[in-house]
Amino acid sequence: MNDWTAGYVADIGYTFGYYPELNPLRMKLAFLHAGLVCPEVGTACELGFGQGMSTNLHAAATTVQWHGTDFNPAQAAFAQELAAAGGAGARLFDESFAEFASRTDLPDFDFIALHGIWSWISDENRACIVDFVRRKLKVGGVLYVSYNTLPGWAAFAPMRHLLTQHAEIIGSEGRGIASRIDGALAFAEKLLEQKPGYAIANPHIGERLQQLKAKPRHYLAHEYFNRDWHPMHFATMVDWLAPAKVSYACPAHLIDHVPELQLTEGQQAFLKEIPDFNFRESVRDFMTHQQFRRDYWVKGPRMLSALGRTEALRSQRLMLTTHRPHVTLKVSGALGEARLNEALYGPLLDAMAEHQPRSVAELERLPQLKMPFAALMQCLVVLCGSGHVWPAQTDAQADAARPATDRLNQALLRRSRDNGDIAFLASPVTGGGAAVARIPQLCLLARQQGLKTPEEWARFALELMLALNQRVVKDGKTLDRPEDTFNELVGQARMFAEQDLPTLQALRIA
């Protein structure tokens, strides 16, 4: 393996994922809900941006000036291509953390983020990142870090180690990482068939292995098969970040703000008896068997007054981004799946069904929403955490961002003609990414070319797919006949017109 990789998988690209925790609007909602002062973000940085989707979507959809680096030149080149297409001025580099940290042309940052990086790099790189945060994060600034957590990974860690050993020792380097992953998984299955004592003591390992088999190989390569792989306790994370002078602020995953979804009443009472804030978080991870933390940290935490918190929350604008009939009143937490109260959530969703941004204060004044302020905020946080509701910028901010999102989206739509690996477009309303699958993207592209009906959009998509010898899969079966494919595409195009298009227009994507 080449030295520049530092043990990190580089022969297969990272996924084209979008991570909403990097959206400054969502960050602000999390801080305000936790009762914390949140900085206004003008400068932001992502360390290890992968394909650069989150950085570019946020750069185009806001006035925030984004910077970042990723060591993989192929990924950095793609991210730079997107940055040029959007024209929002994101400055993205293909440098190591040490090289990037030594640059003299970087501003100080209000927000520094690293997603899917911390657990998969060496101690040397972690120390470099901590020093960078110490020097470049502004006072009052926010650090976002996601990482694999103990005790949740304790049981599977030996199996992960065995899988990587097989890939390194038995697998042939010339076969490529995807093939070596397949070989390692097959070996692990045969091992479990022998009923080893490890599997008997950890009966869920077999189920976990089957879940891995269903994952895309490029995801598995980066999640499990790097040289460095270090799940750690929350307390260890506190020690690591102490030199950077940042303190734990609150969860970045909004569902984690609702204790009723994560902890029994007895567990909540037990935690309340623990006076130390950080130790309480460590114990909470034992309660929830936490495997992956998404956390905001802040350089100098400051609490809002009760009045200041309420006023700030009331000023927040939010919008429903899911077609109202598609919102299921179910949510998953550490305790499993919970059913949401129809009497509370139904009227609220109905009030937001037109997909127009409304402030919390406006919603609170609606006569049909007869609930206390605290209950209203919990409902909105749950809906945001579930991906149905998003914070929204002001109309002036959305107007300012619209030219860049239009340019970036045009580049992404053109790419959808070839494949569906990118399933997000930029919204100037939410200040970030919105999930849009390939067929809806092709429908948008067809509309831009003057085609007006779902049948015309379907024909446009079919001709592209036939030219590339691509097929549609329906209910797990590949449709081989063009007429069957066309009928399926017509159905999807009609659904797009009825359900997706109004939302995309409200998001100022269409």
Identify the residue whose tokens are 């690996």. 421
Is pLDDT above 50 for 282?
yes
Question: Looking at the structure, do residues 122 and 243 belong to the same domain, yes or no?
Answer: yes
Q: State the pTM of this model.
A: 0.91
- Which domain range does residue 99 map to? 3-8+15-151+229-257+287-298
Q: How confident is the model at residue 4 (pLDDT cuts 50, 70, 90)?
A: very low
Is pLDDT above 60 for 9?
no
Residues of the chain above pLDDT 70, percent = 96
CATH number, domain with residue 374 = 1.10.10
Residues 6+ apart with CB under 8 A from 263: 271, 284, 287, 288, 334, 335
Question: Looking at the structure, do residues 72 and 136 belong to the same domain, yes or no?
Answer: yes
Residues 319, 504 contacting (CB under 8 angstroms): no
Q: How confident is the model at residue 6 (pLDDT cuts 50, 70, 90)?
A: low
Give the distance, in angstroms, between the CA of residue 173 and the centroid of all CA atoms in the same chain: 32
Is pLDDT above 70 for 339?
yes
Q: The dihedral of CA 497, 498, 499, 501: what is its sign?
A: positive
Helix (H, G, I), strand (E, B) or coil at 162: helix
Given 246, 267, 298, the domain boundary residue is 298
Question: Looking at the structure, do residues 140 and 57 belong to the same domain, yes or no?
Answer: yes
Residue type, 143: L
pLDDT score, position 214: 86
Q: Please state the rounded mean pLDDT for residues 323-343.
A: 93
Give the distance, in angstroms, between the CA of residue 507 and the centroid of all CA atoms in the same chain: 19
239 vs 247: CA distance, rounded Å: 10
Question: Looking at the structure, do residues 170 and 233 belong to the same domain, yes or no?
Answer: no
Is pLDDT above 60 for 92?
yes
pLDDT score, position 2: 47
Question: Looking at the structure, do residues 145 and 219 belong to the same domain, yes or no?
Answer: no
Per-residue model confidence as pLDDT tens digits over 462-488: 999 999 988 888 888 888 888 888 999
CATH number, domain with residue 234 = 3.40.50.150
Per-residue model confidence as pLDDT tens digits over 102-120: 999 999 999 999 999 999 9
Cis peptide before 482 (omega within 30 of 0): no
* Number of separate domains in the chain: 4
Q: Is residue 422 part of a domain?
A: no
User: Which ranges of 20-176 does DSSP label H, i.e. alpha helix?
Assistant: 24-33, 53-61, 73-86, 97-101, 123-136, 157-169
Per-residue model confidence as pLDDT tens digits over 349-394: 999 999 999 999 999 999 999 899 999 999 999 999 999 999 999 9
CB environment 360-379: b (16+ within 10 A), e (fewer): beebbeeeebebeeeebbbb
pLDDT score, position 483: 87
Radius of gyration of the chain (CA): 23
Residues 339, 330 contacting (CB under 8 angstroms): yes
Q: Do strands 137-148 and 91-93 pair parallel, antiparallel, or not at all (unpaired)? A: unpaired
246 vs 13: CA distance, rounded Å: 32
